[in-house]
């Protein structure tokens, strides 16, 4: 089957994959564009997973200022090499993550960062609410588990829906960028400032 150069170009623009990878994806899917996108994502995600144990000692600290200087974010994103850290795509990714943090104000990078006492406090509140609603113990446990998962999705950066594309989580977005750039990457830490936050109004 002959694969048109235009289709290869469109697929490359859509996914950021290499020309030969796009050709292989289209060949494997009989030139079905959407199926080729899925094929490339699956291959890319597998490739990214293999790199997950590679050391990430390079990277940059990115920043984002929003709302006329009222909100500011600093975020450190790491990668394997200084070469990738200097690429436009990596720096654009860091900027997008900083903007996301400014918009959705997560509290932690990942769920493992959430202090156990905070989780237990949330769990206690949810349990009390569920019991007061008259649910059975079995249903209470299920409800509490669901609320804790929602708590992680709302407060942990990697589990939030990405602000520029709510169809994917930040973790999925990170994995796609890793696949495109061919390096392991990690969002290490961030800090978000908001003017007046924490100042007593008394």
pLDDT tens for 85-110 read 999 999 999 999 999 999 999 999 99
pLDDT tens for 6-28 read 888 888 777 666 677 788 889 99
pTM above 0.85, yes or no: no
Residues 48, 29 contacting (CB under 8 angstroms): no
- Of 21 and 151, more confident: 151
Residues 195, 69 contacting (CB under 8 angstroms): yes
What's the rounded Cα separation, in Å, for the pair 150 and 144?
A: 10
Burial class (CB in 10 A: 0-12, 13-18, 19+), 29: middle
The arithmetic mean of pLDDT across residues 36-44, rounded, is 79
CATH fourth-level superfamily of 5-50? Ubiquitin-associated (UBA) domain (1.10.8.10)
Sorted by where each begins, the domain ranges of the chain are: 5-50, 58-110+156-194, 115-154
Q: The dihedral of CA 165, 170, 172, 177: what is its sign?
A: positive
CATH fourth-level superfamily of 58-110+156-194? Elongation factor Ts, dimerisation domain (3.30.479.20)
């Amino acid at each position: 089957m002959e694969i048109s150069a235009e289709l290869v170009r469109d697929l490359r623009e859509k996914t950021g994959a290499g020309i030969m990878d796009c050709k292989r994806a289209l060949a494997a899917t009989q030139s079905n564009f959407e199926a080729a996108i899925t094929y490339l994502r699956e291959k890319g995600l597998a490739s990214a997973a293999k790199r997950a144990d590679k050391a990430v000692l390079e990277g940059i600290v990115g920043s984002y200022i929003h709302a006329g200087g009222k909100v500011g974010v600093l975020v450190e994103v790491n990668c394997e090499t200084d070469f990738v850290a200097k690429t436009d795509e990596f720096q654009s990714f860091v900027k997008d993550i900083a903007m996301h943090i400014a918009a959705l104000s997560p509290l932690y990078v990942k769920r493992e960062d959430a202090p156990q006492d905070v989780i237990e406090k949330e769990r206690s509140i949810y349990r009390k609410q569920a019991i007061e609603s008259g649910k059975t113990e079995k249903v209470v446990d299920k409800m509490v588990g669901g609320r804790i998962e929602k708590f992680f999705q709302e407060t942990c950066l990697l589990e939030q829906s990405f602000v520029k594309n709510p169809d994917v989580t930040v973790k999925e977005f990170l994995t796609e960028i890793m696949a495109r750039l061919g390096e392991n990457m990690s969002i290490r830490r961030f800090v978000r400032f908001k003017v007046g936050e924490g100042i007593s109004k008394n």
